[in-house]
Chains A and B, each alone.
Chain A
Amino acid sequence: MGRSRSDLVVFVAKRLVQLIPVLIGVIVITFFFTHIAVANPCVAWAGPKASPSAITACEHLYGLDKPLPVQFVNYLKGLVSGDWGYDPLYQVPVLTAIEQYFPATLELVLASIFLMVVVGIPLGVVAAASNGRIADHLVRIFYLSGWATPTYIAGAVLAIGVGSTLGISGGAFSTLSSPVRTLTHMSVVDALLAGNLSATGDALAHLILPATALAFINMGIATRMTRSSMLETLPLDFVKTARMKGLGEFVVLYKHALRNALITTTTVLGITAGTMVSGTVVVESIFRWPGMGLYAFSAITDYDFNGTIGVVIFFAIVVVVANLVADVLYGVLDPRVEWR
């Protein structure tokens, strides 16, 4: 084992293989949970005043009249062949829905990560550099309030308090003043691709509140982790060496110390991927952001089994891949790490 490119490929491949049992577990648990918890979704699907024969027809159509193990085997067959089933209300295939909704969520999550990195980490550095002084205390108020605020409260406060005051709201596409052609399903990227600057600004204005709401709790974690790992790094001799080269304090902090402090911060941020995914459900519902979270929410409330399982599988993959990315970043940041 070493640090060559082929070692990295083997490392990533191994981790992806480990994903398989995780996915099997996720599928089994969600499938039986959904099918046992809700006795007969056709009562809901067929409409409020459906006749018993319509309900029976519905059951037959979706194979719900067969024994549960048979249903499970049928579902697995579909899963492997790329047919993840479809939404009984709107007849949209699950994979198509994910394809459409995922980019919007990706945009939201990337914006949140951007905020975490650009605001959370430097604040941690500032706090560590002024350890015990006024700036440190101010930053501590910030990150503790971040940590103590659940995403749904942050979302509600931002949507009702800030959003309505400033006259900006969430909702990526529907509320854009000048709609642009959707290519990537990411509002900011689409507006930029169309070369429409006012639409880009509009899209950004719609993005900023949900992104902040989603980032808020993780921003607190990022700040706090950066602060504590910087406090561990700053007394080390190589920081003195950097100072004794004649480097300015900014380079000493942000190049020499932060580069090493980030090694621990990265791992922790990988763990926050789960928080972030569950946060999207809340934030997208509050801001009517047309992404995976909103889809997950409507799939669950509509008793859309296929949609629910599809979303859970997808979220599981996202969380595992996010942690894999964090592990790879960890290795990239720390030259002492060997891929294994």
Chain B
Amino acid sequence: MAEDLLRIEHLSVDYHVGAGTFRALTDVSLSMPAGRVVGIVGETGCGKSTLGHAIPRLLPQPPAQVRSGKVFFQGTDLLKLPKWRMPSVRGTGIGMIFQEPINSLNPAFRVGDQIAEAVQIRRLREHGRQPARKADVQGFDYSKREMPKAADVVTGPFVPPNLTETLKQRPPPISKDLQKEVLDFLHLVRINDPERIISLFPHELSGGMRQRIMIAMALSGKPSLLIADEPTSALDVTIQAQVLTLMKELMDEVSTSILFISHDLGVIAEMADDVGVMYAGHMVEFGPVAEIFESPRHPYTKSLIRSIPNKYKEDGVLPSLSGSVPNLSRLPNGCTFHPRCPMVRDVCRKDPEPPLTDLPPGPAGLVHRSACYFPEEVASLP
């Protein structure tokens, strides 16, 4: 079996705030083969963003604390890497797009310079002038639709830069050539007139433009994995559609693996190959997008899908899920969803909580997991 690009095993993250401990993530496991787009969906506060930030170790510690778990990226447990080696994984290994483009660009620098910085880091690594992971040094051609082979993706040992060697090497070509590459990436995200845009500051651009710049910046590191943390949630609906269309097109052109985080099931259905459904810090269901939507195997997923607005529905009332996400500092015993579950039974109220288990393979033979004791009965729910 080929090595997964990203494999998260039993990751638990707590937030220590004031007197309380909030279980932001509990025992989350996820595996993501190269070239797939995996969606993570759930309500606000269910831990999706914490998951996205925990992978490249962006969580501020304190208040966050990784209680247990492993995050394997290209075969290396990132949580075990010394802190000073994390930069070599970021940018060229893992890129990220944040939720609010208003805040995610540095207000003090011109956008062209901000993208150039990312391009420059990647070039230095391609020329071996900066420590980088082996797979990243080889790079891959973004004009081709091929991913680096999983076998190439094994981490090499860290070699400290040899000073005399480094001095002998010519610096990678910069300036004009660098600017040309920056313009290329702006073209890639369909920005007209990029020559003018590069000399502007972030506050001189609209939200949609800023998010395109952000996408260009993340892609300019040519990452093997792109984490998109609610990339369209802060945008107007029309701009949202534009950016989603752009991302959809880019997925075909660039073919990088994407972890797409969103609270919007419709967006996830459009973008993702696989979906992980999260509830109160737990991964409650994981499977191929079509199966999840057609035959959900967890009552939470079912009720989420039921509450998508549908204009073809005749009866006026939009079904909603009663109750709210439990307080993460006082999670209920047993299944975390049981207080809101329509088919709750005695076993659900008792510890231990139901684990995420493989279901019998469906017609396509793809992995489908559910954290419900009675996955077969979900289909009979209204």
Contact = CB atoms under 8 A, between A and B. Distances in A.
Interface in B290-330: none
Interface in B85-117: 87-96, 98-100, 103-109, 117
Interface stretch (B12-20, B152-160, B214-222): B214-222
A335 B201 contact: yes
Nearest to B99: A237
B91 A244 contact: yes
A34 interface: no
Interface string A51-91: 00000000000000000000000000000000000000000
B71 to A, nearest CB: 15
A162 to B, nearest CB: 37
A245 B117 CA distance: 8
Given A243-B87, A247-B121, A335-B108, A238 B103 contact: yes
B104 A240 contact: yes
A256 to B, nearest CB: 5
Contacts of A235: 60
A241 B106 contact: yes
Contacts of B201: 335-336
Interface string A233-259: 001111011111111110000001001
Nearest to B200: A335
Contacts of B118: 245-246
A260 interface: yes
A232 interface: no
Contacts of B88: 246
A158 to B, nearest CB: 37
Interface in A252-299: 256, 259-260, 263
Contacts, number: 84
B107 A246 contact: no
Nearest to B95: A244
Interface string B143-174: 00000000000000000000000000000000
Given A237-B103, A238-B107, A246 B58 contact: no
A308 to B, nearest CB: 44
B208 interface: no
B36 interface: no
Interface in A326-340: 333-336
Contacts of A241: 96, 98, 104-106, 214, 217
Contacts of A259: 106, 108-109
A240 B108 CA distance: 15
B60 A246 contact: no
A336 B204 CA distance: 9
A130 to B, nearest CB: 12
Classify chain A: how many residues form its interface, as a range. Answer: 20 to 34
Interface in A79-125: none
Nearest to B105: A238
B87 A247 contact: yes
Nearest to A132: B62
A334 B107 CA distance: 8
B127 interface: no
Contacts of A334: 107-108
Question: Could you say which of A132, A237, A242, A246 has the most chain B C-beta atoms within 10 Å of its C-beta?
Answer: A246
Contacts of A243: 56, 58, 87, 90
Contact of B221 (A237, A242, A246, A263): A246
A168 to B, nearest CB: 39
Given A240-B58, A245-B117, A336-B203, A260 B106 contact: yes
Contact of A244 (B96, B109, B203): B96
A224 B196 CA distance: 39
A244 B107 contact: no
Nearest to A248: B87
Contacts of B203: 335-336
Interface in A187-222: none
Contact of A246 (B92, B105, B108): B92
B291 to A, nearest CB: 32
A247 B217 CA distance: 13
Interface in B55-84: 56, 58, 60, 62, 84
B94 A244 contact: yes
Contacts of A256: 106, 109
16 contacts: A237-B98, A237-B100, A240-B98, A241-B214, A242-B106, A243-B56, A244-B95, A244-B218, A246-B118, A246-B221, A247-B121, A259-B109, A335-B107, A335-B203, A336-B107, A336-B201
Interface of A: 132, 235-238, 240-249, 256, 259-260, 263, 333-336
Given A246-B89, A246-B90, A260-B108, 13 more contacts: A238-B103, A238-B104, A238-B106, A243-B58, A243-B87, A243-B90, A245-B91, A245-B121, A246-B92, A249-B87, A256-B106, A336-B107, A336-B203
